[in-house]
Amino acid sequence: MGYSITEKIFSAHVKGKKVKADEFVYAKVDLALGNDITAPIAIDQFKKIGAGKVFDRKKVVLVPDHFTPAKDIKSAEQAKVLREFAGEQNIVHYYEVGRMGIEHALLPELGIIEPGSLIIGADSHTCTYGALGAFSTGVGSTDLAAAWATGFSWFKVPKTIKFVYKGKFKKWVCGKDLILYTIGKIGVDGALYKAMEFTGSVINSLSMDERLTMANMAIEAGGKSGIIAADEKTFEYLKTVNAKRYKGKSGEKQLIQDMKRWKSFYSDADAEYEAVVEINVSDIEPQVALPHLPSNTKAVGKVKKMRVDQVVIGSCTNGRISDLRIAAKILKGKKVHPKVRCIVFPATQAIYLQAMKEGLLEIFVNAEAVVSTPTCGPCLGGHMGILAEGERAVATTNRNFVGRMGHKNSEVVLSSPAVAAASAIKGYISHPDAV
């Protein structure tokens, strides 16, 4: 019996041993990530166990992005803890306001995610990096502290569910619709502690941005990780974000070595799966997830007019440049409905700058939307767009639990950027063709 890509990654991180699903392993980690909510707890625990130095200052990542720019004194103190720890430890990958971005959009952009890597983060959406062929998963703050001290972490190697997508997308359907449809099909616990391996001709056709969106939401189906084996699109993306590294003759040699390693991480034809789920995308319409679960999905055309008070376009799920381009395409020359607040969050400073160069920000402002600095704020009901009692938001984020974006009696509807932009114009949940 062959090995899945997940089993191969773990085997490469456990010295002298090939491992299979359900085994418990003490594996070496390549990156260990914390943010301004979870890292202060990890830092406190790191100091309590008497750890002097982190295992590798180049493999610890700190990104204050949830409550930054600081919304109050408490959030400012949280960010300060990270800043001081980064200074004490001489952390290479520390990114604060002005240099930062939403962590799960920022790290791939920086070129520090590679196929075959084993990555942990004290944030549930760390699974995003599986889009680049890495095994990445969320952990608790105490696990993060232990990994900072030792460079290792305990895992139970997850079984894998293979998802095979075939067919052709209809107009306006994208990776966000695909993952929402999948979660709706299997439920929020349908992949509980499983690796969700996304495959098939449709996945091959997806852009890197769309792949990142799909992997990002694996946790919403209960998945331990989401993963897509690296292919030519992955390699081109990595060459682009690591252009300096691969410059010149020495860089070309390094690229050849890296690609040889990257290509070794794939699932064997006879790999063993917990289940195989086949999905024909040809009949999938643009999707929304109605309150209060990501699995409560429905084709947007089947949703009766639902009033919208706020639209959020951004987050680690859909705040990348292609997402902003789609939203701008729909909003161009139009106005946000006068009873709707539309907030756009480019996911990183680089994306913000690119959107500025392309004139997208001007389109948003002319449409009477608000453009914000990168932050996770509204997604978790932290700041920059809190909902009052009885209000409803359409958001390109990843969760719509009770009280997720504010008052416990508010509602969140998840959608793609296209549906969000159309809804902002119409004032109710709308299909992009309606505007």
Mean pLDDT taken over the chain: 96
Q: What is the dihedral of CA 158, 2, 166, 328, to 10 degrees?
A: 50
Residue 1 has pLDDT above 90, yes or no: no
- Across 224-252, b (16+ Cβ under 10 Å) vs e yields bbbbbbbbeebbebbbebbeeebeeeeee
Instruction: Band the pLDDT of 17: cuts 50, 70, 90.
Output: confident
Same CATH fold assignment for domains 5-276 and 286-434: yes
What is the side-by-side strand order in the sheet with 392-395? 297-299, 287-289, 411-415, 392-395, 310-314, 341-345, 370-371
* Interval 341-357 mean pLDDT: 97
Which residue, 383, 416, 384, 382, is CA-closest to 397?
416
The owner of tokens 């008052």 is 407
pLDDT digits 0-9 by tens, 237-272: 999 999 999 999 999 999 999 999 999 999 999 999
Q: What is the pLDDT of residue 100?
A: 87
Q: Which residues pair with 344 in a beta bridge?
A: 313, 371
Q: Where are the domains of the chain?
A: 5-276, 286-434
Measured CA to CA, the distance from residue 350 to residue 32 in angstroms comes to: 23
CATH code for residues 286-434: 3.30.499.10
Q: Compute the chain's Rg from CA coordinates.
A: 21
Q: What is the pLDDT of residue 15?
A: 87
Asked whether the predicted pLDDT for residue 16 surpasses 90, the reply is no
What's the pLDDT tens digit per position in 24-67? 999 999 999 999 999 999 999 999 999 999 999 999 999 999 99
CATH code, residues 5-276: 3.30.499.10
- Count CB-CB contacts under 10 A for residue 275: 13
Mean pLDDT for the stretch of residues 304-322: 96
Of the two residues 305 and 151, the one the predictor is more confident about is 151
Mean pLDDT of 299-324: 96
Could you report the per-residue pLDDT of 184-224, keeping only the tens digit for each?
999 999 999 999 999 999 999 999 999 999 999 999 999 99
- pLDDT one-digit tens code per residue, 363-388: 999 999 999 999 999 999 999 999 99
pLDDT digits (tens, 9 = 90+) for 90-111: 999 999 989 989 999 999 999 9
Q: Which band of pLDDT confidence, cut at 50, 70 and 90, is reported for residue 422? A: very high
pLDDT value of position 433: 95
